[in-house]
Amino acid sequence: MKTFDVIIIGAGVVGCSIALSLARAGIRSLNVDALPAPGYGSTSYSSAIIRPFYSHITACAIAHESRARWQHWSEFLGTADPLGLARYDETGGVILVAEGTESDYAANIDALQAVGVEYHWLSEQDLQQKYPSIQLQSFAPPRRIEDDNFGQSNGQMIRKGIWLDACGHVNDPQLATHNLYHAAERAGVEFRFNTRVTEITQSNTSTAGVVLHTGEKISAPIVINAAGPHSKHINLMAGITNIETRAERHEVAYLKSPGSNMNQQGFLVDLDTGIYQRGDGADVLIGSADPTCDPADVADPDNYSTSLTGQWTQQVYRAALRFPDLAIENTARGTVGLYDVSKDWIPIYDRTDLPGYFVAIGTSGNQFKNAPVIGDIMTRIITAEDPDSVWLTLPNVQREVDLSFYSRLREPQNTKNVMA
């Protein structure tokens, strides 16, 4: 039987980052993925927005640290991938703030200040100058288009925006994952694709390895669940029932950018209508900010519809409230992907009640950005001498963060959507 120090289930952006970090720490791992190549799972559909705008200091600090790695991607990888390198475009971005809602962002501003991320306020005039076609009425709360009050202004206005220079997006999330995979393989990690894990084995109530769909058994004292939207299934294989995650279906719409060059204006978050958007070539990509009026589209990760549906329609109509010059096309264009959602939309990077079994799951539609750091988070957790006190040093933001923030045992935070 083949033996490794660690088996990682999943070669998405999370699993590949863990593989690279473990290899750099001298730990021999095998990475197994059911799909034919790295990053072919939910990572492929990522909007890949990089932003430090989070309501908790730790989340903000890790995102800002990770951004530095995206900025210096080639140096971070230390290898040249024959497929080329993914590119981080630092476009900047804005969060629209309706009058009377400033306090909703107080925790985010505190986090930016604590971590030392620069931001500034945009006035109504600044917003109008930047986005000539923007409508600044407030339509909150976000509504569904079948609601009679959809599109009715509530009499308030968007008076401000929070502008951040230190954000943007990665042009190709699948290629970024390939880059991590390539660097990890060079560093000695073994990968097996088209290979499904069907069982997690135990010996004396500790993790002993995995069984593959071929029946082959592989042994390792440590197994990491990095299976994205399949995280719940893998947890059940390990007998773990006290960690809650669910797969949620999310559509991202593409519309042609109007003449106002909206596609070149960075990313924009509009919680007033319930969407986020960013440029993508000649298009504007429009995703959902998960307003409470939309029911969660909980899905079976092995059997879900990849067709664009009413979600697409809700999102494009909401975006067109803010930007009436967005032309809604007759034929829906976009992508359908799955989030792996935790109870509070904050990921779970932790050990579990089964010794030797670890999880890097619940990434809740917002952890692509952190992928370059997630590997180090998991390496620290796995190698910690005292598992109850695990800290990670973030050299770029010059902070140490307490990784219990990501504990499976934490009190759920009050974060309720992808913005976390």
Ligand X SMILES: Cc1cc2nc3c(=O)[nH]c(=O)nc-3n(C[C@H](O)[C@H](O)[C@H](O)COP(=O)(O)OP(=O)(O)OC[C@H]3O[C@@H](n4cnc5c(N)ncnc54)[C@H](O)[C@@H]3O)c2cc1C
Could you say which of 21, 29, 42, 311 contacts ligand X (CB under 6 A)?
42
267: which residues sit within 8 A by CB, 6+ positions away?
Answer: 49, 51, 91, 93, 94, 167, 168, 169, 276, 277, 278
**Cβ–Cβ < 8 Å for 318, 142:** yes
Determine if 363 is a binding residue for ligand X (CB under 6 A): yes
Residue 325 CB coordination number (10 Å): 14
Query: 201: closest CA among 213, 215, 217?
Result: 217
State which of positions 264-303 bind ligand X (CB under 6 A).
287
What is the DSSP code string of 337-390? EEEEEETTSS-EEEE-SSTTEEEEE--TT--TTTHHHHHHHHHHHHH-SSTTS-
Q: Which of 3, 41, 44, 35 is nearest to 195 (CA)?
A: 35
Strand partners, 308: none
Q: Which is nearer to ligand X, 14 or 122 (CB)?
A: 14
Q: In sequence order, what are the residues at sequence separation of 6 or more whose Cβ sits closer than 8 angstroms to the Cβ of residue 186?
A: 79
Q: Which of 21, 33, 53, 64 binds ligand X (CB under 6 A)?
A: 33
Nearest-angstrom CA–CA distance, 321 and 316: 9
Indicate which single residue of 4, 53, 131, 339 sits in contact with ligand X (rule: CB under 6 A): 339
Of residues 96, 227, 240, 321, which one binds ligand X by CB under 6 A? 227
Segment interacting with ligand X (CB under 6 A) among 67-75, 215-223, 254-262, 365-373: 365-373
Give whichever of 159 and 340 is closer to ligand X, judged by the CB atom.
Answer: 340
**Using rule CB under 6 A, residue 32 touches ligand X:** yes
CB closer to ligand X out of 11 and 240: 11
Packed helices 13-24 and 173-186: angle between N→C axes, nearest 10 degrees: 30
367 binds ligand X (CB under 6 A): yes
Should residue 6 be labelled a site residue for ligand X when binding is judged by CB under 6 A?
no
Task: Kindly state whether residue 93 participates in binding ligand X, applying the rule CB under 6 A.
Answer: no
Between strands 197-203 and 49-50, the pairing is unpaired
Binder of ligand X out of 93, 142, 168, 229 (CB under 6 A) = 229
Interface residue with ligand X, options 21, 29, 47, 257 (CB under 6 A) = 47
**Which of positions 127-156 make contact with ligand X (CB under 6 A)?**
none
Question: Which 3 state secondary structure label does DSSP give 4?
Answer: coil
**CA pair distance 218, 312, nearest whole angstrom:** 43
Which of 25, 35, 208, 211 is in the footprint of ligand X by CB under 6 A?
Answer: 35
- Whichever of 136 and 167 has its CB closer to ligand X, that residue is 167
CA–CA distance, 46 with 334 (Å, rounded to integer): 12
The residue count of the chain comes to 420
Q: According to CB under 6 A, which one of 5, 24, 25, 40 is a site residue for ligand X? A: 40
Cβ closer to ligand X: 273 or 315?
315
Which region among 11-19, 112-120, 127-135, 214-222 touches ligand X (by CB under 6 A)?
Answer: 11-19
Residue 221 beta carbon to ligand X: minimum distance, rounded to whole angstroms: 19
Least CB distance to ligand X at residue 31 (A): 9
DSSP of 282-334? TEEEEEE---TTSPP-B-BTTB---S--HHHHHHHHHHHHH-TTPPPPSS--E
Among the residue ranges 72-80, 98-106, 121-129, 220-228, the one whose residues contact ligand X (CB under 6 A): 220-228
CB under 6 A: which stretch of 78-86, 149-157, 221-229, 313-321 binds ligand X? 221-229
Cα first-last separation, the chain: 43
Minimal distance, residue 416 CB to ligand X, in Å: 16
Q: Which residues in this chain contact ligand X in the complex, by CB under 6 A?
A: 9-15, 32-35, 40-43, 45-49, 196-197, 226-230, 250, 252, 287, 337-339, 363, 365-369
